[in-house]
Amino acid sequence: MPIITYSPAYTIVPTYECFNRCSYCNFRVDPGADKWMTLDRATQILADLQDKDVCEILILSGEVHPRSSRRQAWIERIYDLGNLALEMGFLPHTNAGPLSFREMEKLAQVNVSMGLMLEALDPALLAGVHRHAPSKLPQIRLEQLDWAGKLQIPFTTGLLLGIGESAIDWESSLQAIADIHDRWGHIQEVILQPYSPGSQESFSGMGFDIQKLPVVISLARQILPTNVAIQIPPNLIPNPDLLLTCLNAGARDLGGIVPKDEVNPDYHHLQLSELTSLLANAGWELRPRLPVYPDRVHDLSDRLQAYVRTSKACLV
Ligand SMILES: O=c1nc2n(C[C@H](O)[C@H](O)[C@H](O)CO)c3cc(O)ccc3cc-2c(=O)[nH]1
Ligand SMILES: C[C@H]1O[C@@H](n2cnc3c(N)ncnc32)[C@H](O)[C@@H]1O
Ligand code: SF4
């Protein structure tokens, strides 16, 4: 049977505080308004996960301003959380927004893959949903993808669909990702993420017309090199038939299946057993994977490769 993958994951949030205010965000709180995740708390959480089928620790963070005096402590905390996860047998994947080259290099030491959504290139968004989000400048994000390539970090990026971008923009954003991948070969997957309205945000847009997702997947499959997988989030796709149509259009990965989707807390995942039988009935085998794809493991440091080999490798 042809294979569809997912990553058995758990999300740790170093902080929800974020100096950006993307108007579709259901995650952020104001700077200073939450307590950062402590290493003690993370140790407890990870200890509770030891006997569960979890391999990836997704470290997803709100952002401290690059010129804030708290920036360095924030990076240190994210580094320490990654290191702790490794030492406790898990494999971290961090997405903490744009980083300086030095910061990226540092966090790469304790992550088997990292990520940053390109989202969209359309400059119109800077007057729309990204009006108060300096981190979402397209040039900054393209530069991040390029730096990640230079550092040979196995990388996840993607498009956020339905935030006011034009349909032409899907093509140019995908082409930009393909071009960077041609240069460095480090993009392991591209997420096609339908913007999904939640209860906390200020935007309250319509959400992406989910019926169009298969079309965007076909477009992505035409533009992206074959060794870049297309990831779609099953909890944001409201009916099983449409999910199967997306797979037929070329999506091959369902991303992190987590107990709580921190970005879209209003959308729950199906039970793994339900998802497995849904796919099996349509002739697909659902199989767990690591947060680093097999063909990218050789890019990791010896230390990280050793962790990959001895991780709870629930899998492989
Ligand atoms: O559960 C989620 N996982 C998200 N992930 C995690 C992803 O599903 C997995 O961590 C990767 O596939 C690595 O295994 C992201 C990873 C990125 O690098 C960039 C963006 C996202 C977005 C989400 C998300 O909205 N929800
Ligand atoms: C982690 C990634 O999640 C995406 N993101 C942020 N808010 C939403 C939402 N309401 N719906 C879908 N995706 C979202 C952003 O692109 C971010 O980079
Ligand atoms: S989407 Fe990310 S950058 Fe934007 S406000 Fe939310 S946490 Fe901050």
Say whether the ipTM exceeds 0.95.
yes
Q: Are 135 and 100 in contact (CB under 8 A)?
A: no
62 C-alpha to ligand 1 centroid (Å): 14
Cα–Cα distance, 112 to 75 (Å, whole number): 17
Q: What is the pLDDT of residue 207?
A: 83
Distance CA 168, CA 170 (A): 5
**18 assigned to a ligand binding site:** yes
Residue 261 Cβ < 6 Å to ligand 2: no
Mean pLDDT of 30-41: 98
CA–CA dist 87, 303 (Å, integer): 11
- How far is CA 174 from each of CA 13, 187, 265, 266, rounded to the nearest angstrom? 28, 12, 27, 28
Ligand of minimum distance to the alpha carbon of 55: 1
Is CATH 3.40.50.300 correct for 3-310? no
Q: Indicate whether residue 94 lines ligand 2 (CB < 6 A).
A: no
CB 28 within 8 A of CB 15: no
Quick one: how far is CA 53 from the chain centroid?
19
- CB of 8 within 8 A of CB of 54? yes
**pLDDT higher than 70, residue 50:** yes
Atom of ligand 3 lying closest to residue 16 CA:
7
55 among annotated binding-site residues: no
Atom of ligand 2 nearest to the CA of 198: 10
Cβ–Cβ < 8 Å for 237, 243: yes
C-beta of 263 in contact with ligand 2 (< 6 A): yes
Q: State in Å: Cα 18 to ligand 2 middle.
A: 13
Give ∠ CA 278-283-286 in degrees, rounded to 5.
60
| Ligand 1 midpoint to CA 19 (Å) | 21
Return the amino acid letter for 28: R
Question: What is the spatial distance between Cα 183 and Cα 257, in angstroms, rounded to a whole number?
Answer: 31
Mean predicted confidence (pLDDT) in 48-64: 97
Q: What is the mean pLDDT of the chain?
A: 96
316 band by pLDDT with thresholds 50, 70 and 90: very low
List the domain boundaries for the chain. 3-310
Please state, for a pLDDT cut of 90, what percent of the chain lies above it. 94
Ligand 2 in reach of 307 Cβ (< 6 A) = no
For residues 72 and 272, the answer to whether their CB atoms sit within 8 Å is no
Q: What per-residue confidence (pLDDT) applies to 125?
A: 97
Ligand lying nearest the CA atom of residue 141: 2
Q: pLDDT for 87-129, tens place per residue?
A: 999 999 999 999 999 999 999 999 999 999 999 999 999 999 9
- pLDDT at site 45: 98
Cα gap 250→232, rounded to integer Å: 10
Mean pLDDT along residues 21-49: 98
Q: Are 82 and 107 in contact (CB under 8 A)?
A: yes
Distance 63 CA to ligand 3 centre (A): 7
CB-based contacts of 1, cutoff 8 Å, min separation 6: 280, 283, 284, 285
Residue of the CA atom closest to atom 17 of ligand 1: 115
Q: What is the mean pLDDT of residues 168-184?
A: 98
Q: Which ligand has the shortest distance to the CA of 201?
A: 2
Q: Is the CB of 57 under 6 A from ligand 2?
A: no
